[in-house]
Structure 1
Amino acid sequence: MSDSVSPCIETGPPLEGMEAFASINDIIAEACERFADKPAFSCLGHTLSYRDVDRLSGDFAAWLQHETDLEPGDRIAIQLPNVLQFPVAVFGALRAGLVVVNTNPLYTEREMRHQFRDAGVKAILVLANMAHKLEKVLDQTDIRHVYVTEMADLHPWPKRSLINGVVRYVKKLVPRYSLPDSIGFRHALTVGSRHKADVVVSHGGDVAALQYTGGTTGVAKGAMLTHHNLIANMLQTKQVVGRALVEGEETIIAPLPCYHIYTFTVNCLFAMVTGQHNILIPNPRDIAGFVKTLSKTPFTVFVGLNTLFNALCQRDDFKALDFSRLKMTISGGMALTQTGAQRWQQATGIGIVEGYGLTETSPIALVNPPEAPQIGTIGKPVPGTSVQVVDDDGRALPRGERGELCVKGPQVMKGYWNRPDDTARALDADGWLRTGDMAVILDDGYVKIVDRKKDMILVSGFNVYPNEIEEVVAGHPDVVEAAAVGVPDEETGEAVKLFVVARNDRLDPQALRQWCKKELTGYKVPKFVELRDELPKSNVGKVLRRELRDEASSAESASSGKAGDTTSTERRSSSDVS
Structure 2
Amino acid sequence: MIQLIERAKGFTERVALVSNGTSYTYGQLLDSAQHVAAHLLNGKADLEEARITFLVPPSFEYTAIQWGIWMAGGIAVPLCVLHPLPSIEYVLRDTQAKMVIAHPDYMDFLSPLEKENGVSIVALTPVLENRSAELPDIRTEQRAMILYTSGTTSKPKGVVTTHANIQAQITTLVNAWEWQQDDYILNILPLHHVHGIINVMSCALWSGACCEFLPKFEAESVWNSIKSGRLTLFMAVPTIYYKLIAFWDDASETAQEEMSEAASKLRLMVSGSAALPVPVLEKWRKITGQTLLERYGMTEIGMGLSNSYRGERRPGHIGLPLPGVEMRLVNSDDKTAGENEAGEFQIKGPSVFKEYWQKPEATEKAFTKDGWFITGDIGMLNNGSYKILGRDSVDIIKSGGYKISALEIEDVLRKHPMVRDCAVVGLPDEEWGEVVSACLIPKDEAIDTKKVSEWLKEQLPRYKIPRNYIVRNTLPRNVLGKVTKNELKKMF
Q: TM-score, normalised by structure 1?
A: 0.68
Please say if 1:110 is aligned against 2:86. yes
CA RMSD of aligned residues (A): 3.2
Deviations, residues 6-63 of structure 1 (Å, cap 9, x unaligned): xxxxxxxxxxxxxxxxx4x232122x22211111111231111111111111111111
Identity of aligned residues (%): 22
SS at match of 2:212: strand
Q: 2:240 aligns with which of 303, 308, 324?
A: 308
Spell out the pairing of 1:182-221 with structure 2 (5 A cutoff).
185-190=124-129, 193-196=130-133, 198-214=134-150, 218-221=154-157
Query: What is the rounded CA distance, in whole Å, between the counterparts of 1:384 and 1:571 in structure 2?
Result: 44
Please say if 1:428 is aligned against 2:368. yes
Query: What is the rounded CA distance, in whole Å, between the counterparts of 1:188 and 1:199 in structure 2?
Result: 16
- Residue of structure 2 in register with 1:223 after alignment: 159
Q: Does the 8 A contact of 1:256 with 1:263 survive in 2? A: yes
Deviations, residues 367-394 of structure 1 (Å, cap 9, x unaligned): 1111122221111111111111212343
CA deviation after TM superposition for structure 1 residue 576, in Å: 6.2
Structure 2 residue ranges without an equivalent (≥5): 397-405, 450-467, 477-492
Query: What is the rounded CA distance, in whole Å, between the counterparts of 1:425 and 1:62 in structure 2?
Result: 39
Query: What is the rounded CA distance, in whole Å, between the counterparts of 1:86 and 1:102 in structure 2?
Result: 9
CA deviation after TM superposition for structure 1 residue 297, in Å: 5.2
Please say if 1:357 is aligned against 2:293. no
Mean Cα deviation higher: 135-144 or 428-437: 135-144
- Residue of structure 2 in register with 1:371 after alignment: 310
Q: Which amino acid aligns with 1:438?
A: I
CA deviation after TM superposition for structure 1 residue 575, in Å: 5.0
Q: Does the 8 A contact of 2:184 with 2:211 survive in 1? A: yes
Relative to structure 1, the CA distance from residue 411 to residue 577 in structure 2 (aligned partners, 3 Å threshold; closer, same or farther) is closer
Q: Which amino acid aligns with 1:274?
A: S
Query: What is the rounded CA distance, in whole Å, between the counterparts of 2:361 and 2:271 in structure 1?
Result: 33
- Residue of structure 2 in register with 1:27 after alignment: 4
SS at match of 1:34: coil
CA deviation after TM superposition for structure 1 residue 98, in Å: 0.7
Q: 1:320 aligns with which of 227, 252, 258?
A: 258
- Residue of structure 1 in register with 2:389 after alignment: 450
Q: Which amino acid aligns with 2:437?
A: E
Query: What is the rounded CA distance, in whole Å, between the counterparts of 2:380 and 2:475 in structure 1?
Result: 35
- Residue of structure 2 in register with 1:45 after alignment: 21
SS at match of 2:211: strand
Q: Does the 8 A contact of 1:319 with 1:348 survive in 2? A: no
Please say if 1:258 is aligned against 2:191. yes
Query: What is the rounded CA distance, in whole Å, between the counterparts of 1:441 and 1:422 in structure 2?
Result: 29
Please say if 1:413 is aligned against 2:349. no
Deviations, residues 81-106 of structure 1 (Å, cap 9, x unaligned): 22221111101111111101121111
Deviations, residues 319-364 of structure 1 (Å, cap 9, x unaligned): 6232364111122111122222222222322222111010010x20
Structure 1 residue ranges without an equivalent (≥5): 1-22, 149-184, 458-484, 500-534
Please say if 1:339 is aligned against 2:316. no
Deviations, residues 439-486 of structure 1 (Å, cap 9, x unaligned): 112352x211123211279xxxxxxxxxxxxxxxxxxxxxxxxxxx99
Query: What is the rounded CA distance, in whole Å, between the counterparts of 2:198 and 2:25 in structure 1?
Result: 19
Query: What is the rounded CA distance, in whole Å, between the counterparts of 1:272 and 1:69 in structure 2?
Result: 27
- Residue of structure 2 in register with 1:76 after alignment: 52
SS at match of 2:266: coil
**Higher relative contact order by CA 8 Å / sep ≥ 6: 1 or 2?**
1
Q: Which amino acid aligns with 2:104?
A: A
Spell out the pairing of 1:12-161 with structure 2 (5 A cutoff).
23=1, 25-30=2-7, 32-66=8-42, 71-141=47-117, 143-144=119-120, 146-148=121-123
- Residue of structure 2 in register with 1:438 after alignment: 378
Please say if 1:289 is aligned against 2:221. yes
Q: Which amino acid aligns with 1:103?
A: L
Q: Does the 8 A contact of 2:153 with 2:394 survive in 1? A: no
Query: What is the rounded CA distance, in whole Å, between the counterparts of 1:204 and 1:492 in structure 2?
Result: 47
SS at match of 1:364: strand
SS at match of 2:170: helix
- Residue of structure 2 in register with 1:269 after alignment: 202
Deviations, residues 238-296 of structure 1 (Å, cap 9, x unaligned): 12112xx4x21011111111221111101222111111111111001x22233334444
Query: What is the rounded CA distance, in whole Å, between the counterparts of 1:115 and 1:352 in structure 2?
Result: 34
Relative to structure 1, the CA distance from residue 199 to residue 571 in structure 2 (aligned partners, 3 Å threshold; closer, same or farther) is closer
- Residue of structure 1 in register with 2:401 after alignment: none
Relative to structure 1, the CA distance from residue 397 to residue 295 in structure 2 (aligned partners, 3 Å threshold; closer, same or farther) is closer
